[in-house]
Amino acid sequence: MFDGLIAFFGTRDLEENEKFYVEALGLKLYKDQGVCKIYKVKENAYIGFCSHLEVTVAKRGPIITILSDDVDAVYKNLIDKGLKPLDKPKKNRRFNIHHFFIADPDGYLIEIQKFL
């Protein structure tokens, strides 16, 4: 019935946002719509950021979770690029995951996670 997913979020600066998602996280720019940029996470899974939408960040959300088989390698890659994740990778027994968080330029919580 459904073919994919794009989640859209507001951004204050499309170019700064692109540096984070492309250069730091390694996502590919899928489509530049001028006021929105859409990045490919995986086949039929995309995340978009638009300058005409409000940035809506609260203390505990939203959380943008990107799945990875090697959470520790992603963490090391971000550290090597001079970025500062909010915590080190750890096992969360409650949800049976291995994960860490980093904030993007707009303050959205990005969770890098592996299901255990």
Quote the CA–CA distance of 97 and 35 in Å, as a whole number.
35
Q: What sign results for the dihedral spanned by CA atoms 90, 93, 99, 102?
A: negative
Q: What local confidence, expressed as pLDDT, does residue 60 receive?
A: 80
Rounded-to-10 torsion of CA 92, 114, 5, 78: 100
**pTM attached to this predicted model:** 0.94
Looking only at the bridges linking them, the beta strands covering 63-67 and 109-115 are: parallel
37: three-class secondary structure by DSSP: strand
Does domain 5-115 match CATH 3.10.180.10?
yes
Please give the pLDDT value at position 66: 97
Residues of the chain with pLDDT under 50: none
